[in-house]
Amino acid sequence: MAVIDRVLIGEALVIEERPDGSGLDLKNVAHIDLIMGPRGSAAEDAFCRTLTDQKEGVNGLLAIVAPNMMVKPSTVMFNKVTIKDGRQAVQMFGPAQRGVSMAVMDCVADGTIPVEEADDVFICVGVFIDHKADMDDRVQDWNYEATKQAIKAAVAREPKAVNVLKEYKNSLHPFAARSKEERNRRSNDAALALAIEQMKSRNPLTAQTEISEAADKAISEMRSRKANVEKA
């Protein structure tokens, strides 16, 4: 029985601290949206449309390990952020492409995608590259990690709906706005609220620190989910 017998969906986010310890590296964050499926499925249709429907600032390109060495399964990449300049285009066609391609091939090498199915599977990978991305090594390494994680999650059919249902209300998103309840949690005590406002006036980075702490927890949860996928 084929492992990839239908359209499968995968997603993954990879982010770490800036090298100088100044907070999350939002400039080089990697986020992958991925669909994959067998020949004759909607994934093959999406692959062909993505590769042929080129628009200004939004481009599809085949994933290659190196020139004249296209990956198998056949994989098309598309950008989720409009490409505005040559630097960003080179990052898409260079380090991001290399990272995605190596992840696909490593998933074949380790058996996640059976080699006997690889010639008849199609993958579409949405890549996020921020306009301010400034570290090509992170663009490459993090897109590699995110693509590999997304493929493994897709093949494992993770996450399961029953698990999302159990966890979604208590899960944190590293970039989410705080809810009304969270914003009001500290305002019950007027004195404490005033002290916090005074503290913020002395340190304009306080708000960023609070967001960073929530993001740290969210990232910890994300890594835990990644570990569960790898065990599956």
The residues carrying an active-site annotation are: 31
Q: Packing angle between helix 136-155 and helix 206-231, nearest 10 degrees?
A: 50
**Helix (H) or strand (E) run with residue 123 in it:** strand 121-127
Residues 6+ apart with CB under 8 A from 71: 63, 64, 65, 101, 104, 105
Rounded distance, CA 136 to CA 143, Å? 11
| Three-state DSSP class for residue 140 | helix
Is the bond into 19 cis (omega within 30 degrees of 0)? no
DSSP for residue 175: T
Tokens, residue 226: 């990644």
